[in-house]
Structure 1
Amino acid sequence: MPQLDTSTWLITILSMILTLFIIFQLKVSKFNYPLNPELKTISMNKHVNPWETKWTKIYLPLSLPQQS
């Protein structure tokens, strides 16, 4: 059974890493970044939930002052 030749593995792995790095750099360099980033105004919309405006007989006495 022949022995596995590992003498070229270092060159192969290093060249692969270098190639991936170059490809990544080329991809990133073609990306268009905004020149002057500005903050966006976020409008906070108040959503009315049905349980905020609707009271039932079970919940209403709990909000009243306690009676002795």
Structure 2
Amino acid sequence: MPQLDTSTWFITILSMVITLFFVFQLKVSKHSFPENPELKLATASKPITPWEEKWTKIYFPLSLLLQ
């Protein structure tokens, strides 16, 4: 049974990593980024919900006393 020849794996994996690095660099270099990013102040607006105005209680049928 022949053995698997792994002598070329190192150069194959190394060339693949280098190629992926260059492809990624080309993709990133073609992307246009804003020159002066400005900080936007996020104001947290609380949503108005009707159930916060009044007291409510939920009764579950299984929690009621048996009569």
Q: Compute the TM-score of the two structures, normalised by the length of structure 2.
A: 0.68
* Number of the residue aligned with 2:37: 37
Larger Cα Rg: Structure 1 or Structure 2? 1
Q: 1:32 is aligned with what amino acid?
A: S
In the TM superposition, what whole-angstrom CA distance separates every residue of 1:19-54 from its partner, at most 9, and x where no partner exists? 011111111111111001112243433322212222
Find the aligned partners of 1:24 and 1:55 in 2 and give their Cα distance: 57
Partner Cα separation in structure 2 for residue 25 and residue 14 of structure 1: 17
Q: What is the aligned-residue identity percentage?
A: 67
Distance in 2 of aligned mates of 1:15 and 1:48: 58
1:17 equivalent in structure 2: 17
1:54 match: 54
If the length of structure 1 is used for normalisation, what is the TM-score?
0.67
Q: Structure 2 CA distance, aligned partners of 1:48 and 1:26?
A: 48
Deviation larger for 5-14 or 45-54: 45-54
